Amino acid sequence: MSKSPMSDKALFNAANVIRSYGFSDQSSMIDLLYRVVMTKKALSGKDDDCDTVYRTMQEVSATLPRFPGDADLFFT
């Protein structure tokens, strides 16, 4: 992830991508973004495969409800 802040356009694009996968309500979008941020932090810049990313997400979000998708969806 880049150190520079995301532009408004990039944020809106990210929100649209999240919505396109069925995460339309505010609560589910926040949940997903939290998982992404915590997973990225745990991986600390490593370029990992889909399964490693998914396992890491499951570890860092173990206190949250189960992620409603599979490894490919989360990785995307």
Q: Is the pLDDT of residue 53 over 90?
A: yes
Mean pLDDT of 31-49: 86
Determine, yes or no, domain membership for 69. Answer: yes
H or E segment to which residue 41 belongs: helix 26-43
Give CA separation, 74 vs 4, 5, 7, 8, in Å: 23, 22, 23, 23
Kindly state whether residue 54 falls inside one of the protein's structural domains.
Answer: yes
**This prediction's pTM:** 0.73
Its domain, for residue 25, covers 8-75
65 falls within a domain:
yes
Q: What one-character DSSP code corresponds to residue 64?
A: S
The pLDDT of residue 46 is above 50: yes
pLDDT tens sequence across 22-39: 888 888 888 888 898 899
Nearest to 72 by CA among 10, 33, 21, 19: 21
Number of domains the chain is built from: 1
